[in-house]
Amino acid sequence: MSTQPATASTRRSEPDHEVGSFAEAREQSREVPAAPPEPVMEVLKLNVYYGGFHAVHDVNLQFGKNEITALIGPSGCGKSTVLRCLNRMNDLVAGARVEGEVNYHGTNIYAREVDPIAVRTNIGMVFQKPNPFPKSIYDNIAYGPRVTGMKVESMDDLVEEALRGAALWDEVKDKLKQSAYGLSGGQQQRLCIARTIATRPDVILMDEPCSALDPIATSRIEDLMLDLRKDYTIIIVTHNMQQAARVSDRTAFFTARPDETTGDRTGLLVEFDRTADLFARPHDKRTEDYISGRFG
């Protein structure tokens, strides 16, 4: 599947100003292949409906192994809807209907024989606001492996491994039996990341994981994402374009098309490219207008 947008014929000149941190992203992107060399997931002609409302129209995307892909765009453009389709979270929404394919290692996760619980075990999710369970720090991490019947030699070792993986172990190792609610917002979000990786998924979805955090906590989460990329494929929705520039290998820009009669806004993918190329040399004027602040 081509990652080049069908509407593009030539590249536009660079936007009037660059997004912060972009010089570094541009240098790093030179090592990123033009197309994902090992796609872990592929979205083909994805359409999403909520009742009679057409929320997302004909999205095609690939997500590469050990890459971070950012989904950006204005509010209401369908990027979070697309993210939730990647592990069948929309199954839990009344009236939601998904058409097209979401292939994970070549298997359509929406096929009848596919168990959505197994999908969510392999494709974990971190939500916008930290949502620790009303349990101890230890039991938050152990919850997933226990309920899925995951076989582990030592739960203590698994809890430590997950907390280390989320860069949280040194801060909580002496209070594992204390309530997770006693942690700061940034620590709670890293706990939720640790809870996700405890089941050893292949892909991690993150829906604006830093929107409720202060700049210091945000920086720690971003550093963590870059570290986790060595072991996981990460797909993140963000409204923060500087964040997309700092952490992602590729970026997909979405926009919304209003219906002339109803005013309903249907999300669609405008273009998908290496992050540095999309920000510095966007194919589509809609992308250029968004990243330069002319709309959105």
Residue 6 in any domain: the answer is no
Residues 6+ apart with CB under 8 A from 273: 3, 4, 250, 251, 282, 283
Residue 173 in any domain: the answer is no
Pairing of strands 233-237, 68-72: parallel
Question: Residue 210 corresponds to which amino acid?
Answer: C
Question: 154 versus 9: which is more confidently predicted?
Answer: 154
pLDDT of residue 295: 64
Average pLDDT score over residue span 63-84: 95
Residue 188 in any domain: the answer is no
Residue 147 in any domain: the answer is no
Residue 161 in any domain: the answer is no
Average pLDDT over all residues of the chain = 88
CATH code, 54: 3.40.50.300
Residue 49 in any domain: the answer is yes
Q: Could you tell me the pLDDT band of residue 260, with boundaries at 50, 70 and 90?
A: confident
Residue 235 in any domain: the answer is yes
Domain hosting residue 38, numbered range = 26-133+202-291
Whether 13 shows a pLDDT value over 50: the answer reads no
Q: Could you tell me the pLDDT band of residue 261, with boundaries at 50, 70 and 90?
A: confident
Whether 100 shows a pLDDT value over 80: the answer reads yes
Whether 47 shows a pLDDT value over 80: the answer reads yes
- How confident is the model over 103-133, as pLDDT tens digits? 999 999 999 999 999 999 999 999 999 999 9
Question: 65 versus 9: which is more confidently predicted?
Answer: 65
pLDDT of residue 121: 92
Whether 221 shows a pLDDT value over 60: the answer reads yes
Residue 191 in any domain: the answer is no
Q: Could you tell me the pLDDT band of residue 272, with boundaries at 50, 70 and 90?
A: very high
* 45 half-sphere exposure, CB direction, 13 A CA radius: 2
Overall number of domains in the chain: 1
pLDDT of residue 140: 97
- How confident is the model over 148-198, as pLDDT tens digits? 889 999 999 999 999 999 999 999 999 999 999 999 999 999 999 999 999
pLDDT of residue 1: 41
